[in-house]
Homo-oligomer: A and B are copies of this chain.
Amino acid sequence: MFQDSQDMRTNLSELGEFGLIDHLTKGFEPKLSSTVKAIGDDAAVLNFENKHTVVTTDLLVEGVHFDLAYMPLKHLGYKAVMVNASDVYAMNAKATQITVSIAASNRFPVEALEELYSGIELAAKLYNIDVVGGDTTSSTSGLLISITALGIADKEDIVYRSGAKPNDLLVVTGDLGAAYMGLQILEREKEVFKANPNAQPDLDPYTYLIERQLKPEARKDIAPLLKELGVKPTSMIDISDGLSSEIIHLCKNSQVGANLYEEKIPLDPAVISVCEEFDIDSTTIALSGGEDYELLFTISQEDYDKIKANPNLTVIGHMAEEKEGMHLITRANQKLPLIARGWNSMEDKNEKSEKKE
Protein backbone atom coordinates (compact mmCIF):
# COMPACT_ATOMS: atom_id res chain seq x y z
CA MET A 1 0.00 0.00 0.00
CA PHE A 2 1.18 3.56 0.52
CA GLN A 3 4.25 4.73 2.36
CA ASP A 4 3.97 7.28 5.10
CA SER A 5 5.98 10.44 4.59
CA GLN A 6 8.33 11.63 7.30
CA ASP A 7 7.07 13.52 10.28
CA MET A 8 7.30 17.28 9.68
CA ARG A 9 5.11 20.10 10.92
CA THR A 10 4.26 23.33 9.19
CA ASN A 11 1.37 25.23 10.72
CA LEU A 12 -1.49 25.96 8.34
CA SER A 13 -1.16 29.69 8.99
CA GLU A 14 2.46 29.80 7.75
CA LEU A 15 1.33 29.48 4.14
CA GLY A 16 -0.93 32.52 4.35
CA GLU A 17 -4.50 32.94 3.33
CA PHE A 18 -4.38 31.91 -0.30
CA GLY A 19 -1.16 29.94 -0.17
CA LEU A 20 -2.56 26.67 1.13
CA ILE A 21 -4.85 25.74 -1.70
CA ASP A 22 -2.24 26.79 -4.27
CA HIS A 23 0.24 24.61 -2.51
CA LEU A 24 -2.03 21.59 -2.19
CA THR A 25 -3.35 21.63 -5.73
CA LYS A 26 -0.21 22.56 -7.65
CA GLY A 27 0.09 19.05 -9.15
CA PHE A 28 -3.53 18.96 -10.26
CA GLU A 29 -3.30 19.69 -13.96
CA PRO A 30 -6.54 18.91 -15.79
CA LYS A 31 -6.18 16.20 -18.44
CA LEU A 32 -9.64 15.66 -19.85
CA SER A 33 -10.89 17.50 -22.92
CA SER A 34 -14.19 18.04 -21.08
CA THR A 35 -12.41 20.21 -18.48
CA VAL A 36 -12.38 23.67 -20.05
CA LYS A 37 -11.24 25.46 -16.88
CA ALA A 38 -10.28 23.74 -13.64
CA ILE A 39 -9.09 25.42 -10.43
CA GLY A 40 -8.50 29.17 -10.61
CA ASP A 41 -11.78 31.04 -11.15
CA ASP A 42 -15.11 31.48 -9.35
CA ALA A 43 -16.17 28.13 -10.77
CA ALA A 44 -14.82 25.40 -13.01
CA VAL A 45 -16.11 25.20 -16.59
CA LEU A 46 -16.87 21.85 -18.20
CA ASN A 47 -17.99 20.88 -21.67
CA PHE A 48 -20.00 17.66 -21.77
CA GLU A 49 -21.25 18.21 -25.31
CA ASN A 50 -24.17 15.89 -25.93
CA LYS A 51 -23.59 13.62 -22.96
CA HIS A 52 -25.80 13.49 -19.91
CA THR A 53 -24.15 14.68 -16.72
CA VAL A 54 -24.18 12.64 -13.54
CA VAL A 55 -23.52 14.27 -10.15
CA THR A 56 -23.12 12.79 -6.67
CA THR A 57 -21.72 13.94 -3.35
CA ASP A 58 -20.41 12.35 -0.15
CA LEU A 59 -19.31 13.69 3.20
CA LEU A 60 -16.72 11.83 5.30
CA VAL A 61 -16.38 12.89 8.94
CA GLU A 62 -13.58 11.95 11.32
CA GLY A 63 -14.86 9.82 14.17
CA VAL A 64 -17.94 8.87 12.15
CA HIS A 65 -16.64 7.47 8.85
CA PHE A 66 -12.96 7.05 9.56
CA ASP A 67 -10.52 6.71 12.44
CA LEU A 68 -7.09 8.24 11.85
CA ALA A 69 -5.65 5.78 14.39
CA TYR A 70 -5.50 3.21 11.59
CA MET A 71 -6.49 5.11 8.45
CA PRO A 72 -3.41 6.86 7.03
CA LEU A 73 -4.29 10.23 5.49
CA LYS A 74 -3.14 9.25 2.02
CA HIS A 75 -5.46 6.25 2.09
CA LEU A 76 -8.25 8.44 3.35
CA GLY A 77 -7.83 10.79 0.39
CA TYR A 78 -7.80 7.85 -1.99
CA LYS A 79 -10.86 6.26 -0.42
CA ALA A 80 -12.82 9.52 -0.40
CA VAL A 81 -12.44 9.70 -4.19
CA MET A 82 -13.43 6.03 -4.56
CA VAL A 83 -16.60 6.43 -2.51
CA ASN A 84 -17.80 9.12 -4.90
CA ALA A 85 -16.54 7.58 -8.13
CA SER A 86 -18.35 4.39 -7.16
CA ASP A 87 -21.68 6.24 -7.19
CA VAL A 88 -20.95 7.52 -10.69
CA TYR A 89 -20.02 4.01 -11.91
CA ALA A 90 -23.28 2.76 -10.37
CA MET A 91 -25.10 4.89 -12.96
CA ASN A 92 -23.15 3.02 -15.69
CA ALA A 93 -21.38 6.32 -16.31
CA LYS A 94 -17.78 7.48 -16.52
CA ALA A 95 -16.41 9.62 -13.67
CA THR A 96 -14.78 12.77 -15.09
CA GLN A 97 -14.35 15.54 -12.52
CA ILE A 98 -14.43 16.04 -8.75
CA THR A 99 -14.45 18.99 -6.39
CA VAL A 100 -12.82 18.46 -2.99
CA SER A 101 -13.65 20.46 0.13
CA ILE A 102 -11.76 19.96 3.36
CA ALA A 103 -12.38 21.30 6.87
CA ALA A 104 -9.44 20.63 9.20
CA SER A 105 -8.66 21.74 12.73
CA ASN A 106 -5.31 23.30 13.62
CA ARG A 107 -4.05 19.96 14.89
CA PHE A 108 -3.40 19.09 11.22
CA PRO A 109 -0.14 20.56 9.91
CA VAL A 110 0.30 21.36 6.22
CA GLU A 111 2.18 18.06 5.76
CA ALA A 112 -0.91 16.13 6.91
CA LEU A 113 -3.06 17.84 4.28
CA GLU A 114 -0.35 17.16 1.71
CA GLU A 115 -0.62 13.46 2.54
CA LEU A 116 -4.38 13.62 2.19
CA TYR A 117 -4.13 15.41 -1.16
CA SER A 118 -1.48 13.01 -2.41
CA GLY A 119 -4.01 10.19 -2.00
CA ILE A 120 -6.66 12.27 -3.78
CA GLU A 121 -4.21 13.04 -6.56
CA LEU A 122 -3.20 9.39 -6.97
CA ALA A 123 -6.82 8.26 -7.14
CA ALA A 124 -7.67 11.00 -9.63
CA LYS A 125 -4.72 10.03 -11.80
CA LEU A 126 -5.42 6.30 -11.77
CA TYR A 127 -9.13 6.81 -12.46
CA ASN A 128 -8.61 9.53 -15.06
CA ILE A 129 -10.54 12.14 -13.09
CA ASP A 130 -9.78 15.89 -13.02
CA VAL A 131 -9.86 17.79 -9.73
CA VAL A 132 -11.58 21.02 -10.78
CA GLY A 133 -12.31 22.91 -7.59
CA GLY A 134 -12.80 22.88 -3.89
CA ASP A 135 -12.65 24.76 -0.67
CA THR A 136 -10.33 24.48 2.32
CA THR A 137 -11.34 25.86 5.67
CA SER A 138 -10.61 25.43 9.35
CA SER A 139 -12.87 23.41 11.60
CA THR A 140 -13.37 23.64 15.33
CA SER A 141 -12.61 19.94 15.69
CA GLY A 142 -11.41 17.12 13.52
CA LEU A 143 -11.26 16.55 9.80
CA LEU A 144 -14.09 16.49 7.29
CA ILE A 145 -13.95 15.79 3.56
CA SER A 146 -16.75 16.64 1.17
CA ILE A 147 -16.36 15.45 -2.41
CA THR A 148 -18.70 15.98 -5.32
CA ALA A 149 -18.14 13.82 -8.40
CA LEU A 150 -19.33 14.52 -11.92
CA GLY A 151 -19.55 11.99 -14.68
CA ILE A 152 -20.87 11.56 -18.17
CA ALA A 153 -22.77 8.96 -20.14
CA ASP A 154 -24.78 8.73 -23.30
CA LYS A 155 -28.43 9.12 -22.36
CA GLU A 156 -29.26 5.59 -23.50
CA ASP A 157 -26.50 4.02 -21.37
CA ILE A 158 -27.54 5.41 -17.99
CA VAL A 159 -28.84 2.76 -15.61
CA TYR A 160 -31.14 3.67 -12.71
CA ARG A 161 -32.18 1.70 -9.68
CA SER A 162 -35.69 1.49 -10.98
CA GLY A 163 -35.51 -0.72 -14.08
CA ALA A 164 -35.39 -4.28 -12.69
CA LYS A 165 -38.14 -6.68 -13.85
CA PRO A 166 -39.34 -9.96 -12.33
CA ASN A 167 -37.09 -12.85 -13.45
CA ASP A 168 -34.14 -10.56 -14.18
CA LEU A 169 -30.89 -12.05 -12.91
CA LEU A 170 -29.19 -10.40 -9.93
CA VAL A 171 -25.46 -10.00 -10.53
CA VAL A 172 -22.64 -8.79 -8.30
CA THR A 173 -19.06 -7.83 -9.17
CA GLY A 174 -16.01 -9.04 -7.22
CA ASP A 175 -16.43 -10.47 -3.74
CA LEU A 176 -18.12 -9.22 -0.59
CA GLY A 177 -17.42 -8.75 3.11
CA ALA A 178 -13.66 -8.17 2.93
CA ALA A 179 -13.75 -4.44 3.69
CA TYR A 180 -15.80 -5.00 6.82
CA MET A 181 -13.53 -7.78 8.08
CA GLY A 182 -10.52 -5.58 7.34
CA LEU A 183 -12.04 -3.00 9.67
CA GLN A 184 -12.51 -5.66 12.38
CA ILE A 185 -8.84 -6.61 12.09
CA LEU A 186 -7.74 -2.97 12.34
CA GLU A 187 -9.97 -2.34 15.33
CA ARG A 188 -8.63 -5.45 17.07
CA GLU A 189 -5.04 -4.35 16.44
CA LYS A 190 -5.82 -0.89 17.79
CA GLU A 191 -7.02 -2.48 21.05
CA VAL A 192 -3.94 -4.74 21.18
CA PHE A 193 -1.73 -1.71 20.60
CA LYS A 194 -3.48 0.21 23.38
CA ALA A 195 -2.86 -2.67 25.81
CA ASN A 196 0.72 -3.23 24.69
CA PRO A 197 2.35 -0.60 22.47
CA ASN A 198 5.35 -2.87 21.88
CA ALA A 199 3.36 -5.71 20.32
CA GLN A 200 4.42 -6.41 16.74
CA PRO A 201 1.33 -7.65 14.97
CA ASP A 202 1.63 -10.07 12.06
CA LEU A 203 -0.91 -8.66 9.63
CA ASP A 204 0.28 -10.62 6.59
CA PRO A 205 -2.64 -13.08 6.55
CA TYR A 206 -5.02 -10.11 6.50
CA THR A 207 -3.41 -8.06 3.73
CA TYR A 208 -6.31 -8.46 1.31
CA LEU A 209 -8.92 -7.57 3.93
CA ILE A 210 -7.03 -4.52 5.20
CA GLU A 211 -6.40 -3.32 1.67
CA ARG A 212 -10.10 -3.63 0.86
CA GLN A 213 -10.86 -1.44 3.89
CA LEU A 214 -8.06 1.11 3.53
CA LYS A 215 -7.67 1.26 -0.24
CA PRO A 216 -10.89 0.21 -1.92
CA GLU A 217 -11.08 0.33 -5.69
CA ALA A 218 -14.28 1.52 -7.36
CA ARG A 219 -15.44 -0.54 -10.36
CA LYS A 220 -14.40 1.76 -13.20
CA ASP A 221 -13.99 -1.34 -15.36
CA ILE A 222 -17.59 -2.58 -15.26
CA ALA A 223 -19.34 -0.05 -17.53
CA PRO A 224 -16.85 -0.60 -20.39
CA LEU A 225 -16.89 -4.37 -19.76
CA LEU A 226 -20.67 -4.52 -20.01
CA LYS A 227 -20.57 -2.39 -23.15
CA GLU A 228 -18.05 -4.80 -24.66
CA LEU A 229 -20.21 -7.78 -23.71
CA GLY A 230 -23.24 -6.08 -25.24
CA VAL A 231 -25.18 -6.04 -21.97
CA LYS A 232 -27.14 -3.11 -20.59
CA PRO A 233 -28.20 -3.76 -16.98
CA THR A 234 -31.85 -3.13 -16.19
CA SER A 235 -30.95 -1.60 -12.79
CA MET A 236 -27.76 -0.91 -10.86
CA ILE A 237 -26.49 0.33 -7.47
CA ASP A 238 -23.13 0.30 -5.71
CA ILE A 239 -22.60 -1.72 -2.56
CA SER A 240 -21.66 0.80 0.08
CA ASP A 241 -23.95 -0.37 2.89
CA GLY A 242 -24.04 -4.15 2.49
CA LEU A 243 -25.65 -6.48 -0.01
CA SER A 244 -29.03 -6.85 1.65
CA SER A 245 -29.83 -3.17 1.96
CA GLU A 246 -28.72 -2.59 -1.65
CA ILE A 247 -30.95 -5.41 -2.91
CA ILE A 248 -33.82 -3.85 -0.98
CA HIS A 249 -33.09 -0.48 -2.64
CA LEU A 250 -33.22 -2.05 -6.11
CA CYS A 251 -36.43 -3.91 -5.26
CA LYS A 252 -38.20 -0.87 -3.79
CA ASN A 253 -37.12 1.41 -6.63
CA SER A 254 -38.10 -1.16 -9.24
CA GLN A 255 -41.22 -2.44 -7.43
CA VAL A 256 -40.12 -6.06 -7.63
CA GLY A 257 -39.20 -8.84 -5.19
CA ALA A 258 -35.98 -10.87 -5.13
CA ASN A 259 -34.54 -14.25 -4.23
CA LEU A 260 -30.89 -14.25 -3.17
CA TYR A 261 -29.06 -17.60 -2.93
CA GLU A 262 -26.68 -17.83 0.00
CA GLU A 263 -24.46 -20.40 -1.71
CA LYS A 264 -23.91 -18.04 -4.67
CA ILE A 265 -22.59 -15.05 -2.66
CA PRO A 266 -18.93 -14.59 -3.70
CA LEU A 267 -16.57 -14.61 -0.71
CA ASP A 268 -12.81 -14.44 -0.75
CA PRO A 269 -11.13 -17.35 1.11
CA ALA A 270 -9.55 -14.76 3.45
CA VAL A 271 -13.04 -13.59 4.47
CA ILE A 272 -14.17 -17.17 5.18
CA SER A 273 -11.10 -17.86 7.27
CA VAL A 274 -11.19 -14.64 9.29
CA CYS A 275 -14.91 -15.06 9.92
CA GLU A 276 -14.09 -18.46 11.45
CA GLU A 277 -11.37 -16.80 13.52
CA PHE A 278 -13.83 -14.16 14.78
CA ASP A 279 -16.65 -16.71 15.04
CA ILE A 280 -18.94 -14.65 12.82
CA ASP A 281 -21.20 -15.94 10.07
CA SER A 282 -19.68 -14.93 6.72
CA THR A 283 -23.08 -14.61 5.05
CA THR A 284 -24.12 -12.05 7.66
CA ILE A 285 -20.96 -10.08 6.88
CA ALA A 286 -21.62 -10.14 3.14
CA LEU A 287 -25.23 -9.10 3.69
CA SER A 288 -24.55 -6.30 6.15
CA GLY A 289 -20.83 -5.51 6.01
CA GLY A 290 -20.69 -2.62 3.60
CA GLU A 291 -17.86 -0.55 2.10
CA ASP A 292 -17.03 -3.11 -0.60
CA TYR A 293 -17.80 -0.62 -3.40
CA GLU A 294 -18.68 -3.45 -5.73
CA LEU A 295 -21.59 -3.03 -8.13
CA LEU A 296 -24.91 -4.84 -7.89
CA PHE A 297 -27.07 -4.98 -10.98
CA THR A 298 -29.81 -6.84 -12.76
CA ILE A 299 -29.84 -8.15 -16.32
CA SER A 300 -32.42 -9.72 -18.51
CA GLN A 301 -32.24 -13.55 -18.53
CA GLU A 302 -31.46 -13.53 -22.23
CA ASP A 303 -28.15 -11.79 -21.49
CA TYR A 304 -26.99 -14.62 -19.20
CA ASP A 305 -24.83 -16.30 -21.85
CA LYS A 306 -22.94 -13.04 -22.43
CA ILE A 307 -21.81 -12.72 -18.81
CA LYS A 308 -21.63 -16.30 -17.50
CA ALA A 309 -17.95 -16.88 -18.32
CA ASN A 310 -16.72 -13.62 -16.81
CA PRO A 311 -14.76 -14.05 -13.57
CA ASN A 312 -15.67 -10.51 -12.44
CA LEU A 313 -19.39 -11.23 -12.41
CA THR A 314 -21.42 -13.63 -10.25
CA VAL A 315 -25.13 -14.34 -10.58
CA ILE A 316 -26.43 -14.48 -7.00
CA GLY A 317 -30.17 -14.63 -7.49
CA HIS A 318 -33.09 -13.30 -9.46
CA MET A 319 -35.83 -10.75 -9.18
CA ALA A 320 -39.43 -11.77 -8.54
CA GLU A 321 -42.90 -10.28 -8.48
CA GLU A 322 -43.19 -7.55 -5.85
CA LYS A 323 -45.82 -9.48 -3.88
CA GLU A 324 -43.44 -12.43 -3.47
CA GLY A 325 -41.21 -10.23 -1.29
CA MET A 326 -37.43 -10.27 -0.82
CA HIS A 327 -35.79 -13.42 0.48
CA LEU A 328 -32.52 -15.11 1.20
CA ILE A 329 -32.52 -18.80 0.23
CA THR A 330 -30.07 -20.42 2.65
CA ARG A 331 -27.78 -23.37 1.94
CA ALA A 332 -30.24 -25.44 3.97
CA ASN A 333 -32.96 -24.26 1.56
CA GLN A 334 -34.66 -22.11 4.15
CA LYS A 335 -36.39 -18.98 2.88
CA LEU A 336 -35.65 -16.01 5.16
CA PRO A 337 -36.88 -12.45 4.66
CA LEU A 338 -34.10 -10.02 3.67
CA ILE A 339 -33.60 -7.32 6.28
CA ALA A 340 -31.82 -4.01 5.75
CA ARG A 341 -29.24 -3.74 8.43
CA GLY A 342 -26.30 -1.40 8.01
CA TRP A 343 -23.21 -2.15 10.02
CA ASN A 344 -23.56 1.07 11.99
CA SER A 345 -26.31 2.54 14.09
CA MET A 346 -28.07 5.76 13.19
CA GLU A 347 -25.71 7.73 15.44
CA ASP A 348 -22.64 6.98 13.39
CA LYS A 349 -24.15 6.33 10.03
CA ASN A 350 -23.60 8.05 6.76
CA GLU A 351 -26.96 8.77 5.20
CA LYS A 352 -27.27 9.66 1.57
CA SER A 353 -30.13 11.39 -0.06
CA GLU A 354 -29.33 9.57 -3.27
CA LYS A 355 -30.12 6.44 -1.36
CA LYS A 356 -33.52 7.43 -0.16
CA GLU A 357 -36.23 4.90 -0.73
How near does chain B come to A177, taking the closest CB pair, in angstroms?
Answer: 20
Complex Cα–Cα for A349 and B357 (A): 38
List of B residues within 8 angstroms of A144 by Cβ: 103, 139, 144
List of B residues within 8 angstroms of A62 by Cβ: 140
What are the interface flags for A74-112 relative to B under an 8 Å C-beta threshold, 1 for contact and 0 otherwise? 000000000000011011010001010111001000000
> A145-153, A184-192, A259-267, A322-330: which one contacts chain B?
A145-153
List of B residues within 8 angstroms of A59 by Cβ: 101-103, 135, 137, 146
Complex Cα–Cα for A58 and B236 (A): 30
- Interface contact B64-A151, CB-CB below 8 Å: no
List of B residues within 8 angstroms of A46 by Cβ: 52-55
Number of interface residues of A (CB under 8 A): 88
Interface of A is mostly: mixed
Complex Cα–Cα for A348 and B140 (A): 9
- Interface contact A22-B357, CB-CB below 8 Å: yes
Complex Cα–Cα for A87 and B17 (A): 19
How near does chain B come to A246, taking the closest CB pair, in angstroms?
Answer: 10
Mark out the residues of chain A between 160 and 181 whose CB falls within 8 Å of any chain B CB in the assembled complex: 160-162
A284: interface (CB < 8 Å): no
Complex Cα–Cα for A61 and B16 (A): 19
Looking at A53, A65, A162, A237, which has the most chain B CB atoms within 10 Å of its CB? A53
Residues of A at under 8 Å CB distance from B? 12-13, 16-18, 20-22, 25, 36-37, 39-50, 52-59, 61-65, 87-88, 90-91, 93, 97, 99, 101-103, 106, 132-142, 144, 146, 148-151, 155, 158, 160-162, 236-238, 253, 340, 342, 345-357
